[in-house]
Amino acid sequence: MRRVVEDPSDPCVRHTEEVLELRIVVRDLELRSVLASNELRELRRERDAAQKELARVAGDLAVVETQHAALTSLFVAAHQLHGTMDRETVLSRLEEIIVNFVGSEEFGVYEHTRGDELRRIAQVGMRDDVDPRLLQDLLAGIPLEIDEKRVGYIAIHRLLPHKPALEPADLELFNLLKTHAAAALLASRPSHDAQ
């Protein structure tokens, strides 16, 4: 067998060695590139999953915020109605609740007198000559009852222009007003009658 002795000073041999080394480097870089691509794909997948989770949590938070706002308005309504025994204050707070929480610009509050006559005790945006027994264009009627006794009712005729319709939160508020407004009106009646 013939033995070939390579001369290291030969430029051809040197270049061949360099090419071989570069090929190894290139292969290594290719491998790293594949690994980096895989890692990038994995990170993108994790980012997408995190974004989806974030969107879900944001949605849940919005629902909780809405529920909290509804509960807050219910609490404030009850707090305001029962925070006074003065008839005028009860009525003005009832008006504030209906204007600011329901968003009505035309409504009346009616009460059964001791002689079972129905009379209007508060109103916003209504004509003075409307007969309570002949109410027309009623959007919502909320009976005010306590212990199954009818105290009066709230008649809502029109909402503010920027509020298109009643919402579920309004119905919850109506349920609260049904008993709490009735109780507040009854509680303030003796001082009013005394006056």
Partner 1 sequence: MRTVTQGGSPHYKVTFVSYRMLPPREKKRRCFMRKKILVVDDSSTVTLMERMVLSRHAYDVVVANDGEEAIGVAKRELPDLILMDVVMPKMNGFDACKRIRQEESIHDVPIIMVTTRGEGTNVERGFESGCNDYVTKPINCTELLTKIHACIAG
Asked whether position 14 contacts partner 1 by CB under 8 A, the answer is: no
**Nearer of residues 97 and 155 to partner 1, judged by Cβ:** 97
Q: Which stretch binds partner 1 (CB under 8 A): 74-82, 113-121, 132-140, 179-187?
A: 74-82
Q: Which of 33, 37, 66, 113 binds partner 1 (CB under 8 A)?
A: 66
Residue 75 as a binder of partner 1 (CB under 8 A): the answer is yes
Footprint on residues 132-191 left by partner 1 (CB under 8 A) = 160-163
Interface pick for partner 1 out of 86, 103, 158, 187 (rule CB under 8 A): 103
Helix (H) or strand (E) holding 166: none
Residue 56 CB, nearest approach to partner 1 (Å)? 17
For residue 180, give the amino acid letter: H
Comparing CB distances to partner 1, the nearer of 105 and 150 is 105
> Does residue 17 sit in helix, strand or coil?
helix
Neighbours of 76 (CB within 10 A): 15
How far apart, in whole angstroms, are the C-alpha atoms of residue 26 and residue 28?
5
Q: What is the DSSP string of 112-151?
A: E-TTS-EEEEEEES--TT--GGG--S-SEEEEEEETTEEE
94 neighbors 81 (Cβ within 8 angstroms) = yes
Binding partner 1 by CB under 8 A: which of 80, 109, 157, 181? 80
Q: Which residue, 89 or 179, has its beta carbon nearer to partner 1?
A: 89
- Pairing status of strand 104-112 against strand 118-124: antiparallel
Q: Contact positions toward partner 1, by CB under 8 A?
A: 62, 65-66, 68-69, 72-73, 75-77, 79-80, 93, 96-97, 99-103, 105, 160-163
